[in-house]
Amino acid sequence: MNSSLMNTNRPPQSIPEYLEQLRVALTGADPALVQDALYDAEEYLRSELAEQPGRSEAEVIASVASSYGAPDEVADIYRDTEVKVQTALRPPAPKPRTSLVGRFFGVAADPRTYASMFYMVLSLATGIFYFTWVVTGLSVSLSLVVVLIGIPLLILFFGSVRLLSLVEGRLVEVMLGERMPRRPLYSARGRNWLQRIGDMFTDVRTWSTLFYLLLMLPLGIVYFTINVTLLSLSLSMIAAPLLVWTGMATAGVSNYGWSVLNWSNDSGLSTSFPLIATPLLLVTGVLTLFASLHLFRGIGRMHGGIAKHLLVKTAQYS
């Protein structure tokens, strides 16, 4: 009790203050856990306040410290319980669909699919940036090592790579759902700065991070291309029949070579498929679209694995 009071600057005077201290005490915990803890505390505090109409908010909150717990204690309790029942506390996973059809089309209801899709598009931009950063940083600082100024530049560059690794980790966790570190890793407590710099060069993670950042360019290009190609193909396969049936496009036109959906000044919107083939085209389009969504989600999962492997050493993560 005493120790917990010493940890807080001053006992909270109001419910918002109590909740704020609890939020601070839970810094770094799973956001879902923080949300739960705040919710429970607010319910309890408001109920307690409503039960004791005669007393002031500050008095009620002071008495709550012994029954419900001070913010620090409550934070500890929630952290403990989180470890014990981690799996049970997770937000309910989407129910696994049993039928094959349900599993195939259910991909459209999974938010992870769209996050992966967005990550694939974004990876072109981040890939170009990472690649440029690493190549420029390495070549500039290495070539200047001869005139000594390259050495601090190199150290600075390695520091920036650690930062990029953290940023990429956040992107991967938010979009691909792979749990990644939330703060930079200081493995070298109690070592002097020269040793720390040496650690940077001998740490496998530094090199695997550099490799990952370089790898992001080709991967980004591939991801982006797959994404744009499959989406435009399947969406135009779906759109063409619908446009033909509503009279906005003509079927069986092939004056500019063969195309699923085409626009030209003389014939307007058109498709090369004959009218009779349009229902089949629509079905194929829908199937292609859903198959692509599966592919996107799969790529997202796979990339999460790559990122985890190259950016986080598993031994340091347990």
5 binds other proteins (CB under 8 A): no
41 binds other proteins (CB under 8 A): yes
Residues in region 56-75 near other proteins by CB under 8 A: 67-69, 73-74
Contacts of 82 (CB under 8 A, 6+ apart): 29, 30, 33, 89
Torsion over CA: 13, 79, 317, 217 (sign):
negative
- Choose between 78 and 130: whose C-beta lies nearer to other proteins: 78
Among 77, 149, 163, 242, binds other proteins (CB under 8 A): 77
- Choose between 79 and 313: whose C-beta lies nearer to other proteins: 79
Binding window for other proteins (CB under 8 A); candidates: 39-47, 153-161, 219-227, 308-316: 39-47
20 binds other proteins (CB under 8 A): no
- Choose between 70 and 281: whose C-beta lies nearer to other proteins: 70
> Tokens 């009779």 identify what position?
276
Measure Cα distances from 52 to 49, 61, 64, 248 in Å. 5, 11, 12, 70
Count of residues that bind other proteins according to CB under 8 A: 28
| Nearest distance, CB of residue 111 and other proteins, angstroms | 20
Contacts of 41 (CB under 8 A, 6+ apart): 18, 19, 22, 68, 74
| Residue pair 209/181 in contact by the 8 Å Cβ criterion | no
| Nearest distance, CB of residue 194 and other proteins, angstroms | 38
Please give the distance of CA 143 from its chain centroid, rounded to a whole number. 36
Among 62, 89, 185, 188, binds other proteins (CB under 8 A): 89
Quick one: which of 31, 289, 68, 38 has its CA closest to 182?
Answer: 31
- Choose between 85 and 151: whose C-beta lies nearer to other proteins: 85
| Residue pair 75/26 in contact by the 8 Å Cβ criterion | yes
Q: By CB under 8 A, name the binding residues for other proteins.
A: 36-37, 39-50, 67-69, 73-74, 77-78, 81-82, 84-85, 88-89, 92
